[in-house]
């Protein structure tokens, strides 16, 4: 069944269109930067963008930062939201279930196919961004991340404790802090390892989104409804994350630690938020999948 779901995923034009579009945004940004040589000053704009002119090999991280806030969650919510509800709308759900495919099995297969999709998108973005970075922006001049000139190392370095306390709200600024924090240069191996860590973290964050959408997908027969419902949950979470009055609930919000993957590019890696991020996503995924399973396995299929 899992193989069948993967075949369905990979043979669906939508999958590839969304991958191409998600990769197209960082490519476009790279083209503009190459032509104009204008980047946001360190500490402003999207994370890592200020550093990519010096080191094209850092562009995958910058590209992930570009697609993370909107592109990735939208794509994931659409695919996960469509998983059960789409089959229900198309009428294929009932035929799958009388084949028979166990309801739990179907749910697991859908989940696996969503995970594969997330990995596919994230890896596609990483590799195209690496190619773009190296070919357009030039290979690493210093072969090191930490030596970007023009970074106010003292100021940002001094703010480390404060940054740690409020990192995600200061996430935008973290892009500037990365290079300044890492006093020691990163070797290519280290950069690869850390990019892999970041990919893993982002994938898990997206699984949180997928779990919300998958759960909603078992409730409604409308794929659109469940995708938009998941996005609405994310927007609500984003609003609360930036709201000082909502400090009490902030540690439990799904998007609270989304930007913690940036900490992989600090030297040494700053683990606290990364661990919390993994933890909170794990809780969301487990709870929502349990709810999805409970709902789906007892549901009357009338579509």
d(CA 59, CA 125): 10
Residue 99 touching other proteins (CB under 8 A):
yes
Residue 276 touching other proteins (CB under 8 A):
no
Residue 136 touching other proteins (CB under 8 A):
no
Binding residue (CB under 8 A) for other proteins from 25, 101, 116, 228: 101
Tell me which stretch binds other proteins (CB under 8 A): 90-98, 165-173, 207-215, 243-251: 90-98
* Residue 248 DSSP label: T
Give yes or no for a contact between 178 and 51, defined as CB atoms under 8 angstroms apart.
yes
Give yes or no for a contact between 289 and 211, defined as CB atoms under 8 angstroms apart.
yes
Residue 139 touching other proteins (CB under 8 A):
no
Say how far residue 235 (Cα) sits from the centre of its chain: 15
Residue 165 touching other proteins (CB under 8 A):
no
| Burial class of 36 by CB neighbour count within 10 A (0 to 12, 13 to 18, 19+) | exposed
**Per-residue x/- mask for other proteins, residues 13 to 52, rule CB under 8 A?**
x---------------------------------------
Query: How does DSSP assign 117-171, residue by residue?
Result: HHHHHHHHHHHHHHHHIIIII-S-SSS-STT-TT--HHHHHHTHHHHHHTTTTTH
Q: How far is the CB of 87 from other proteins (least distance, A)?
A: 9
Q: How far is the CB of 63 from other proteins (least distance, A)?
A: 29
Tell me which stretch binds other proteins (CB under 8 A): 9-17, 60-68, 69-77, 119-127: 9-17
Residue 108 touching other proteins (CB under 8 A):
no
Give yes or no for a contact between 113 and 2, defined as CB atoms under 8 angstroms apart.
yes
Residue 92 touching other proteins (CB under 8 A):
yes
Say how far residue 55 (Cα) sits from the centre of its chain: 23
Smaller CB distance to other proteins: residue 100 or 149? 100
Give yes or no for a contact between 12 and 92, defined as CB atoms under 8 angstroms apart.
no
Cis previous bond, 100, omega within 30: yes
Binding residue (CB under 8 A) for other proteins from 36, 38, 100, 154: 100
Smaller CB distance to other proteins: residue 8 or 276? 8
Number of residues that bind other proteins (CB under 8 A): 24
Tell me which stretch binds other proteins (CB under 8 A): 6-14, 122-130, 213-221, 260-268: 6-14
Interacting positions 180-209 with other proteins (CB under 8 A): none
Those residues with Cβ within 8 angstroms of residue 32's Cβ, 6 or more apart along the chain or in another chain: 38
């Amino acid at each position: 069944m899992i193989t069948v779901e993967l075949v369905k995923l990979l043979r669906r034009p939508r999958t590839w269109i969304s991958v191409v579009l998600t990769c197209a945004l960082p490519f476009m940004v790279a083209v503009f930067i190459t032509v104009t040589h204008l980047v946001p000053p360190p500490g402003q704009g999207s994370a890592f963008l200020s550093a990519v002119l010096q080191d094209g090999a850092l562009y995958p991280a910058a590209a992930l930062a570009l697609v993370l806030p909107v592109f990735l969650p939208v794509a994931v919510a659409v695919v996960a939201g469509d998983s059960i509800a789409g089959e229900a709308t198309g009428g294929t759900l009932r035929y799958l279930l009388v084949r028979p495919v166990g309801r739990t099995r179907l749910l697991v297969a859908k989940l696996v196919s969503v995970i594969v999709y997330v990995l596919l998108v994230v890896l596609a973005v990483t590799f195209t961004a690496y190619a773009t970075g190296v070919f357009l922006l030039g290979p690493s001049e210093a072969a090191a991340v930490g030596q970007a000139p023009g970074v106010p190392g003292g100021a940002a370095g001094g703010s480390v404790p404060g940054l740690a306390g409020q990192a995600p709200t200061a996430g935008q600024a973290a892009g500037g802090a990365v290079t300044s924090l890492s006093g020691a240069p990163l070797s290519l191996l280290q950069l690869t390892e850390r990019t892999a860590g970041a990919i893993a973290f982002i994938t898990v964050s997206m699984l949180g989104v997928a779990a919300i959408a998958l759960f909603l997908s078992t409730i409604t027969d409308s794929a659109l409804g469940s995708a938009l419902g998941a996005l609405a949950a994310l927007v609500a979470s984003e609003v609360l994350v930036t709201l000082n009055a909502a400090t009490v609930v902030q540690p439990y919000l799904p998007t609270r630690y989304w930007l913690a993957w940036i900490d992989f590019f600090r030297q040494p890696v700053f683990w606290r938020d990364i661990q919390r991020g993994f933890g909170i996503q794990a809780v969301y995924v487990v709870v929502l999948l349990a709810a999805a399973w409970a709902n789906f396995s007892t549901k009357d299929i009338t579509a």
